Amino acid sequence: MNEKANILIVDDEEVVRHSQLRILADVKCNAAVAWNGIEALQAMEQHPFDVVLLDLRMPGPDGMWVLKTIKERWPGSEVVIITGYPSIETAKEAVRLGAYNYLAKPVSPDDVVEAANGAMMKKKWGLQRDRASPS
């Protein structure tokens, strides 16, 4: 990644959070973690992240509710759903709500980096398009 991407990892499993944190540190990203949806939204309030890697099943509000809230409040942030319980229905709903991508666990380090890179690229193109459009 050219610019340091600010990425939030949201998962209730500590091993998943630390694994993804280590993977993203290796590619020089600024990454932070949250263990549930409430903590994720609090982190977004403090500093909106470029990309959010979001689990669907967590204590408290589920990932779909968090996705919907993020896209309503921070539409410039890209969200990648990473779930251990994939289904066609949740994939369709995630895309409808604005998710950039939807991945089934387990994900490889390359999958995490590729998803984060793609989401950052989409965000950058969106920012360039917004700057180029006449006001």
The boundaries of the domain holding residue 57 are: 6-132
* CATH at 85: 3.40.50.2300
Structural domain contains residue 102: yes
Per the structure, the count of domains in the chain is 1
What's the pLDDT score for residue 135? 53
Q: Is residue 1 part of a domain?
A: no
pLDDT tens-digit series, residues 93-122: 999 999 999 999 999 999 999 999 999 999
Per DSSP, 134 falls in state: -
Average pLDDT over residues 49-65: 96
Q: Are 99 and 79 in contact (CB under 8 A)?
A: yes
Does residue 93 lie within any of the structural domains?
A: yes
Please say whether the beta carbons of 11 and 20 come within 8 A. yes
Residue 46 lies in a domain: yes
What is the token pair recorded at 127? Answer: 């920012």
